[in-house]
Amino acid sequence: MQTIELSGTLGLIATVILTFNVLLGMMLSSSFKNKKWWQRFPEKIKTINITDLHNYTAYIALVIVLAHIVLIPLDAASKFNVIDMIWPLHAPHQSNIVLLGTISLLALIAVIITTQKVIKRKMSFRIWKNIHLVSYATCMLFIVHGLLMDPELKDRPTDWFDAEKLLSEICGIVLITAFAIRYNYHLSITKK
């Protein structure tokens, strides 16, 4: 497996983990333990600490995203250097799409940093929650980055039926559906 292929695979794995992480975050914000659907789960599943799982999946996703980024300049054929990964405005391939990935990485780091107890205690719940709401857009930026970026860095147009792109499309559809459900839940509790 070439370095670029490995990097792309890590990007896909991170996409799935981030999707799962956002879904866990939505569960946590919706009093899921009181819901009938949660009560139907086997006891073993109900003993899982969802908060810890949510945090660990964020850390794992961050490490995988960082590995995804570090591998790209290691492949000479990519023509990327470290600066292109941090400041992608002059990246050799699809600089705008790389910029989306960079923005989503920075937002992911901001969300993870503000979740640390030392920092979280120093900010109001409203500020913390608003920063956390950024993760919805972050995940969608990450998916758009994965959809539009050519995995071989040859600046080819997106092949929407490629298996890698289909995985990102499925994650995007799952998230958009979950966002709609979560928004409807928010509306239902604010009407009470």
pLDDT at residue 5, rounded to an integer? 93
Burial of 25 (0-12, 13-18, 19+ CB in 10 A): buried
Mean pLDDT of 154-161: 92
Closest CA to 82 of 98, 97, 94, 96: 98
pLDDT at residue 34, rounded to an integer? 82
Distance CA 24, CA 190 (A): 21
Question: What does the pLDDT look like over 25-83, one tens digit per residue?
Answer: 999 988 888 888 888 889 998 899 999 999 999 999 999 999 999 999 999 889 999 89
64/1: higher pLDDT? 64
Mean pLDDT of 92-109: 94
pTM above 0.95, yes or no: no
Q: Is it the case that residue 191 has pLDDT exceeding 80?
A: no
pLDDT at residue 190, rounded to an integer? 82
pLDDT at residue 142, rounded to an integer? 93
Distance CA 102, CA 116 (A): 22
Question: What does the pLDDT look like over 159-170, one tens digit per residue?
Answer: 999 999 999 999
pLDDT at residue 1, rounded to an integer? 65
Lowest mean pLDDT among 3-17, 64-78, 124-138: 124-138
Q: What percent of the chain has pLDDT over 90?
A: 68
For 116, phi and psi rounded to 5 degrees?
A: -65, 135
Q: Is it the case that residue 192 has pLDDT exceeding 80?
A: no
91/37: higher pLDDT? 91
pLDDT at residue 35, rounded to an integer? 82
What is the pLDDT of the chain when averaged over all its residues? 92
Structure confidence at residue 149 as a pLDDT band (50, 70, 90): very high
